[in-house]
Amino acid sequence: MGQGLSGFLSYFGGGVSQAPSLDEDDKDIPEASRRYKTFRKHPELFDSRILDSWVAPELVEIVQACKAGFNCEPREICPHLREEVAGVYSFPCFTKEFISCFNEEIASFYASGIPARRPNSMNNYGVIVNEIGMRPMITEFQQKYIWPVAKVLFPKQASQFDDHHSFIVRYTASEDLGLDMHTDDSDVTFNVCLGHEFTGATLTFCGYMGAPDHRKASHVYAHEVGRAVLHLGSRRHGADDIASGTRMNLIVWSHNKAWRRVHRLRLSDDYEKEEGPPDPVCLSYTHDRDYLAYKKKPVGRAAGRNRAWCPPPGMEYEGFGDKDDDKDDAIL
Ligand SMILES: [Fe+2]
């Protein structure tokens, strides 16, 4: 199957690979942060504190409820916490004050002309906010607000958070339209919409990586400005194409190093045979061996399939044999 096996193995390092390694990240390369310091518009975004006026009161209530020690279904934790579908949750997150400050800061960074590495291998217009100096603020937000909620919803993956990869993504009709189906190199993903005005640009969820139904559609989430969605990194998802306007989101990939070590060792043994043909909406042009058996090559995607791995050998659904389009890779 061509390079499928190597793709399969690399997958366990993350469906969407990030540009720098976690341990290197901005700790070793603070150049953009140093250069940007004199351009800062809102210095408070670079401190290790979260202003009360930035956080939606509903999120404060959710965190309080989680800290109170819940022993019930997630949907019963707090009325402000919405279970979109099993394993995907959303909640009001930031106030207009924070969104305004943050967006001004990002606009200032773009205007500075300082080069920025892209957040991952599949996004061309984002910025790693850790690298421009926001790591302390994001860490504080992660520990104070994301973690208390995540450890109730995902006790194993969020038993502790000891690192994060944080970045913004931006989609417009003239830049990146959306993002192919993928999983994240995170244990828990926090994704909050910060604007601006847009239509389309929904977020489609499928199943968990390795599960028989991992390429079956499960939910379509419509972003709302100021609202966050929380899910496991192993959940297959994709950003649907934007129809008009600009969408910008802040994404925090939280990492639990101890859990990841165990998880990586066990995962390859746990991959299950796919239950049947995939739902077309869950197909990944980048990752799926049978993509071209169901859909045409996306416009503007001349490359990117050289590591298609899914489904892994031996785990194919019945009838997959004549669907494997690896041979077509040579002419892409
Ligand atoms: Fe993602």
Among all chains, which residue has been given the structure tokens 């909406």?
Answer: 281
For residue 182, the CA-to-ligand 1 centroid distance in Å is 6
For residue 184, the CA-to-ligand 1 centroid distance in Å is 5
Low-confidence ranges of the chain (pLDDT < 70): 1-30, 70-75, 121-122, 264-269, 300-306, 321-332
pLDDT at 2: 32
* Residues 283, 181: Cα–Cα separation, whole Å: 6
For residue 251, the CA-to-ligand 1 centroid distance in Å is 8
For residue 310, the CA-to-ligand 1 centroid distance in Å is 17
* Residues 20, 162: Cα–Cα separation, whole Å: 17
Closest CA to 277 of 261, 297, 291, 260: 291
For residue 205, the CA-to-ligand 1 centroid distance in Å is 10
| Whether the Cβ atoms of residue 240 and residue 204 lie closer than 8 Å to each other | yes
For residue 123, the CA-to-ligand 1 centroid distance in Å is 10
For residue 5, the CA-to-ligand 1 centroid distance in Å is 22
Domains of the chain (ranges; CATH) run 18-266 (2.60.120.620)
pLDDT at 297: 83
113 strand-pairing partners: none
For residue 266, the CA-to-ligand 1 centroid distance in Å is 22
| Whether the Cβ atoms of residue 209 and residue 140 lie closer than 8 Å to each other | no
* String of DSSP letters for 42-103: -GGGGSS---GGGB-HHHHHHHHHHHTT--S-GGGT-TTSEEEETTEEEEE-B-HHHHHHHH
pLDDT at 304: 63
pLDDT at 324: 62
How far is CA 227 from each of CA 59, 278, 284, rounded to the nearest angstrom?
10, 30, 26
For residue 219, the CA-to-ligand 1 centroid distance in Å is 15
pLDDT at 177: 85
For residue 65, the CA-to-ligand 1 centroid distance in Å is 27
Closest CA to 319 of 279, 290, 295, 288: 290
Query: Which 3 state secondary structure label does DSSP give 153?
Result: helix
For residue 38, the CA-to-ligand 1 centroid distance in Å is 32
